[in-house]
Chains A and B, each alone.
Chain A
């Protein structure tokens, strides 16, 4: 059971994070100010801390500094409303593990949290098959129902990402980042077109559909 601490004073934000993370299978604790948050973080054991920067009483940077000073190395994900470079650099220098700029998609946050958890005790995802879909990452081959799929390199990379992160909602930004190494938000429909082409090969000829669209968020690969 993974435990997450949310230190966030904005009630609505804290509330939807709490709800979303709980429903994703995490145990969540909440704190509305820096001082209480620091106390909780240093007395109890957490796997990830989600930390807002602008907090009453003690700001996020001070909380992080105090934690690292006490040798509490829990991964910290910063939430910030301003994406000034200085802020990011400062956060990362103080020992934050990642940051997200508001507004962010919840799926994005979930993905980052999972990445942080994975990073901690290294858990190599070696799943290479889902249902009747099999993937051979070494030889860049994929087959479904015994039939080999004729995929282009990027389509294969996309499929591999889906399979490795099965059950996780992947946002368009994340897909662009992971598959094409494009580290920016793009309002093009490139990802959708590629996913559609992949589906035409992976899902369309089969009755059971694996890739599902989550409207307004992204895509997810799920077992029936």
Chain B
């Protein structure tokens, strides 16, 4: 079994939890930042719109008063000296205005104008319509913020009576509000980021918990509890696939494991019998003086047991080597007919004694190891001869498949194999109950060797049987990928 196998490259990455936490954090923070920015900008633009509207509106009012009520200095005065107006009517804004003539002489200005707006420089007065582009921002010495606008009164017939209108709006409160909002936003964002990261971590951990649990479940399974399963039903959909694959791997492992432990037990048993014979015979022989002939017989009997053991060891080693696949297969082109004839010839004495007819019909070319091929067919034939009663028949049919591939069917008219035995006949030491009682001398390795040989050739051996009507063994040699 290829346990030395392939390990996946071990590149150490971040843990999934870290990655998820990181991603959650980034996303949550980005969303939070986006939302608060949208609110911020819309608030800012609302405030500005209101401020701009106020200023342009003031300019419009002054222009109107100057143009249409030039004589009515009271209205103008009232408008300029707004302080005189009782604080009502939703007047939020503190503003200063000044009306001056062409020679820059101040005609009228809000009381406290010069104190509040020391050294102020208004932008160039605008002649036409005023809009937000004519507004400038200015900071006073006291640190207050103002929005400034300057405009000409509506054009008169002779320009000599033109006046400049300067309006300054105190927006300090609004700026403080915006500043405050910015600070709060920063705090909210920092807290939000921390919350996002820690919640993200919790979510990631929660999300990953099934993985940890599945690992624990897997951890639980040891060699002695190979029958336990993870059960795909128990897990979320994403893990069910993994659990299923894992369970199937366990199935295969358990099967191999069972085979292996059964093999060890069988091996111990198979060795025990000859050892027992050897010990017993030697002990009994030595228990009292005996004739040379008796000693000879004991030794001869021992030799037979040793032969059995020796043969068993050789067979087992052969199979083990085949599984390690260190055994070199020396392939040549074989005439299947010729090879089958020589194997048949080898077994013909036994076949004749039992009155079993051997027939092979075929001609095919096969790219395989001659000795191994003969051994495989010989083992199959020996097996068939053993389980076919006198007067039976054995038929070998060979089919050539593409490019050196061959299928060999060997059918006998023997007792057949029970379905429950069929799966295991190729196992080492496996013998059906009939075989055990009728032919106690066999070791049960012949078919295992056949299987190994087929494996070495990249093919496989299979069996089909109807109990009472005979058995068909099939050797599949795949088309050759190498060679001429």
> Is B374 interfacial (CB-CB < 8 Å)?
yes
> Is B249 interfacial (CB-CB < 8 Å)?
no
Those of B120-157 within 8 Å (CB) of chain A: none
> Is B300 interfacial (CB-CB < 8 Å)?
yes
Indicate if the CB atoms of A181 and B342 lie closer than 8 Å: yes
A93 CA to B346 CA in the complex, in Å? 32
Which residues of B are found within 8 Å of A23, using beta-carbon distances? none
Looking at the assembled complex, report how far the CB atom of A80 sits from the nearest CB atom of chain B, in whole angstroms. Answer: 12
Indicate if the CB atoms of A193 and B350 lie closer than 8 Å: yes
**Of A27-35, A127-135, A184-192, A204-212, which stretch is located at the interface?**
A184-192
> Is B164 interfacial (CB-CB < 8 Å)?
no
Looking at the assembled complex, report how far the CB atom of A3 sits from the nearest CB atom of chain B, in whole angstroms. Answer: 28
A83 CA to B310 CA in the complex, in Å? 14
Closest Cβ neighbor of B302 among chain A residues: A216
> Is A197 interfacial (CB-CB < 8 Å)?
yes
Indicate if the CB atoms of A185 and B314 lie closer than 8 Å: yes
> Is A183 interfacial (CB-CB < 8 Å)?
yes
Those of B366-391 within 8 Å (CB) of chain A: 371, 374-375, 378-379, 382
Looking at the assembled complex, report how far the CB atom of B215 sits from the nearest CB atom of chain A, in whole angstroms. Answer: 41
Partner of A190, one of B321, B350, B374, B445: B350
Which residues of A are found within 8 Å of B303, using beta-carbon distances? 215-217
Indicate if the CB atoms of A103 and B350 lie closer than 8 Å: no
Indicate if the CB atoms of A182 and B378 lie closer than 8 Å: yes
Which residues of B are found within 8 Å of A103, using beta-carbon distances? 306, 309-310, 313
Indicate if the CB atoms of A215 and B349 lie closer than 8 Å: no
A83 CA to B318 CA in the complex, in Å? 9
A105 CA to B315 CA in the complex, in Å? 16
> Is A84 interfacial (CB-CB < 8 Å)?
yes
Partner of B306, one of A85, A184, A186, A216: A216
**Known interface pairs A182-B374, A183-B371, A184-B374; A190-B306 also in contact (CB < 8 Å):** no
> Is A39 interfacial (CB-CB < 8 Å)?
no
**Known interface pairs A183-B371, A184-B375, A185-B314; A197-B301 also in contact (CB < 8 Å):** no
> Is A176 interfacial (CB-CB < 8 Å)?
yes
> Is A194 interfacial (CB-CB < 8 Å)?
yes
Indicate if the CB atoms of A85 and B313 lie closer than 8 Å: no
> Is B347 interfacial (CB-CB < 8 Å)?
yes
> Is A140 interfacial (CB-CB < 8 Å)?
no
Q: What mask results when residues 84 to 110 of chain A are scored 1 for a CB within 8 Å of chain B, else 0?
A: 111000000000000001010100000
Which residues of A are found within 8 Å of B347, using beta-carbon distances? 188, 190
Which residues of B are found within 8 Å of A189, using beta-carbon distances? 350
Those of B307-321 within 8 Å (CB) of chain A: 307, 309-311, 313-315, 317, 321
**Known interface pairs A181-B342, A190-B346, A197-B349; A216-B375 also in contact (CB < 8 Å):** no
Partner of B350, one of A83, A181, A184, A188: A188
Those of A118-162 within 8 Å (CB) of chain B: 154
Closest Cβ neighbor of A182 among chain B residues: B346
Which residues of A are found within 8 Å of B28, using beta-carbon distances? none
Which residues of A are found within 8 Å of B343, using beta-carbon distances? 182
> Is B69 interfacial (CB-CB < 8 Å)?
no
A48 CA to B374 CA in the complex, in Å? 33
Looking at the assembled complex, report how far the CB atom of B426 sits from the nearest CB atom of chain A, in whole angstroms. Answer: 17
Indicate if the CB atoms of B350 and A180 lie closer than 8 Å: no
Indicate if the CB atoms of B446 and A184 lie closer than 8 Å: no
> Is B326 interfacial (CB-CB < 8 Å)?
yes
A215 CA to B299 CA in the complex, in Å? 9
A154 CA to B310 CA in the complex, in Å? 28
Indicate if the CB atoms of B307 and A180 lie closer than 8 Å: no
Closest Cβ neighbor of B324 among chain A residues: A84
Which residues of A are found within 8 Å of B378, using beta-carbon distances? 182, 184, 186, 188
**Known interface pairs A181-B342, A186-B382, A216-B303; A193-B310 also in contact (CB < 8 Å):** no
Which residues of A are found within 8 Å of B300, using beta-carbon distances? 215-216
Closest Cβ neighbor of A83 among chain B residues: B317
Looking at the assembled complex, report how far the CB atom of A20 sits from the nearest CB atom of chain B, in whole angstroms. Answer: 13
Indicate if the CB atoms of A187 and B446 lie closer than 8 Å: yes
Closest Cβ neighbor of B371 among chain A residues: A183
> Is B252 interfacial (CB-CB < 8 Å)?
no
A188 CA to B445 CA in the complex, in Å? 12
Q: What mask results when residues 311 to 344 of chain B are scored 1 for a CB within 8 Å of chain A, else 0?
A: 1011101000100001110000000000000110
Which residues of B are found within 8 Å of A154, using beta-carbon distances? 345, 348-349
Which residues of A are found within 8 Å of B309, using beta-carbon distances? 103
A186 CA to B347 CA in the complex, in Å? 11
Partner of A184, one of B310, B353, B371, B442: B371
> Is B304 interfacial (CB-CB < 8 Å)?
yes
Which residues of A are found within 8 Å of B382, using beta-carbon distances? 186, 188, 190
A114 CA to B446 CA in the complex, in Å? 32
Closest Cβ neighbor of A171 among chain B residues: B307
Which residues of A are found within 8 Å of B203, using beta-carbon distances? none
Indicate if the CB atoms of B349 and A190 lie closer than 8 Å: yes
Looking at the assembled complex, report how far the CB atom of A156 sits from the nearest CB atom of chain B, in whole angstroms. Answer: 13
Which residues of A are found within 8 Å of B379, using beta-carbon distances? 186
Looking at the assembled complex, report how far the CB atom of B323 sits from the nearest CB atom of chain A, in whole angstroms. Answer: 14
- In this complex, the member of A154, A183, A186 whose beta carbon has the largest number of chain B beta carbons within 10 angstroms is A186
**Known interface pairs A216-B301, A216-B302; A187-B346 also in contact (CB < 8 Å):** no
> Is B360 interfacial (CB-CB < 8 Å)?
no
Q: What mask results when residues 442 to 461 of chain B are scored 1 for a CB within 8 Å of chain A, else 0?
A: 11011000000000000000
Looking at the assembled complex, report how far the CB atom of A181 sits from the nearest CB atom of chain B, in whole angstroms. Answer: 7
- In this complex, the member of B302, B304, B307, B375 whose beta carbon has the largest number of chain A beta carbons within 10 angstroms is B307
Indicate if the CB atoms of B327 and A85 lie closer than 8 Å: yes
What 10 A-B pairs come out closest when comparing CB atoms?
Answer: A216-B303, A215-B300, A216-B304, A193-B349, A188-B382, A103-B310, A180-B346, A194-B349, A184-B375, A85-B328
Can you give 18 A-B contacts (C-beta < 8 A)?
A86-B326, A103-B306, A154-B348, A154-B349, A182-B346, A182-B378, A183-B371, A184-B375, A185-B311, A186-B379, A187-B315, A187-B442, A187-B443, A188-B350, A193-B350, A197-B349, A216-B300, A216-B304
Given A183-B374, A185-B314, A215-B304: 18 more A-B contacts, CB < 8 Å: A83-B317, A85-B327, A86-B326, A103-B306, A103-B309, A105-B310, A154-B345, A154-B348, A176-B346, A180-B345, A182-B375, A182-B378, A186-B378, A188-B347, A190-B346, A190-B349, A197-B349, A216-B302
